Amino acid sequence: MKWSQFFNTSIGKKLLVGATGLFLCSFVIVHLAGNFQLLYNDEGKAFNAYAQFMGHNSLIQFIAWGLKVVILIHAIIALKLTFSNRAARPVKYAVNPGNQTSSWFSRQMAIMGSILFIFIVIHLANFWGKFHYAEMPTHTYAGMEEPLKDLYALSYETFQNLWLVILYVIGMIGLSFHLIHGFKSAFQTFGLNHKKYNGLINFVGVWIFGILIPIGFALIPIVIYLKK
């Protein structure tokens, strides 16, 4: 079987969705760790220096563009699979089993993924787009010669808008519900299902990626909104 054929089979496509999904899981850890610097009481010195580094280091920029491509690959293949899965049952059941045979989260992957995708587009427009392609306020910190783009101030300004804070929380609920099933599902797709490890994979998927990390992200706009 050629590569082109392999990645056109149902399992081949799922392998791509799972692999890109786990790569994106690794990204959220780094992103959350960086963003917590927004909560330092240092007028944004640490966060803006970090943003300056992340926005201008060539290797990071290469990965950052790769990340956007990975998100698109993940979303496009998953959508294709979703549509062909819907088409596989042309006449629907009159009565459905609901949560009796499968978890609610496992059936909402496409919807939660779509919420997350819309959130990512808005989030990129809010910060990434403005940081790279718009006039930004700058701040010169003591002991630094060059002024830094003040992404910290932009964050504090953005999250004065209650509607945006709510939108970010909804986005993180989407992330939570997506990863509660998605993380462990990727391992099953890779064929990694073993009773010695299933407990750990399930724990990390539900508690770390499904609950802890989304709460961490959601806290940032909430705390910023409440601070002022």
Partner 1 sequence: MEHYNMNLTLKVWKQKNTNAQGGFETYSVKNISSEMSFLEMFDVLNEQLINEGKEPVAFDHDCREGICGMCSMHINGRAHGPWAGTTTCQLHMRAFKDGDTITVEPWRSGAFPVLKDLTVDRTAFDRIIEAGGYISVNTGNAQDANCLPVDKHSADLAFAAAACIGCGACVAACKNSSAMLFVSAKVSQLALLPQGDPERKTRALNMVAQMDKEGFGSCTNTGACEAECPKEISLTNIARLNREFIGAGFTSEK
List of residues contacting partner 1 (CB under 8 A): 1, 5-6, 9-15, 81, 84-98, 100-103, 106-107, 109, 181, 184-185, 188-193
**Residue 215: which H helix or E strand, with range?**
helix 213-227
CA distances from 158 to 31, 128, 200 (A): 18, 13, 38
Give 95 or 226: the residue with its C-beta nearer to partner 1.
95
CB contact at 8 A, 176 and 214: yes
Pick 149 or 184: Cβ nearer partner 1? 184
Q: For 175, phi and psi rounded to 5 degrees?
A: -60, -45
Three-class SS state of 155: helix
Nearer to partner 1, 143 or 191 (CB): 191
Between 57 and 193, CB nearer to partner 1: 193
Please give the structure tokens belonging to residue 14.
């799922």
Comparing CB distances to partner 1, the nearer of 10 and 160 is 10
Q: Let me know: does 131 contact 51? Beta carbons within 8 Å.
A: yes
- Residue in the block written with tokens 């960086």: 34
In the chain, how many H helices and how many E strands?
Answer: 11, 2
CB of 121 closer than 8 Å to CB of 159? no
Structure tokens at 204: 């990390």
User: Shortest gap between Cβ of 98 and partner 1 (angstroms)?
Assistant: 7
Instruction: Tell me whether residue 48 or residue 185 sits nearer to partner 1 (CB atom).
Output: 185
Min CB(189)–partner 1 separation in Å? 6
Residue 87 C-beta: closest distance to partner 1, Å: 7
Question: CB of 178: closest distance to partner 1 in angstroms?
Answer: 12
Residue 56: count other Cβ atoms within 10 Å of its Cβ. Answer: 10
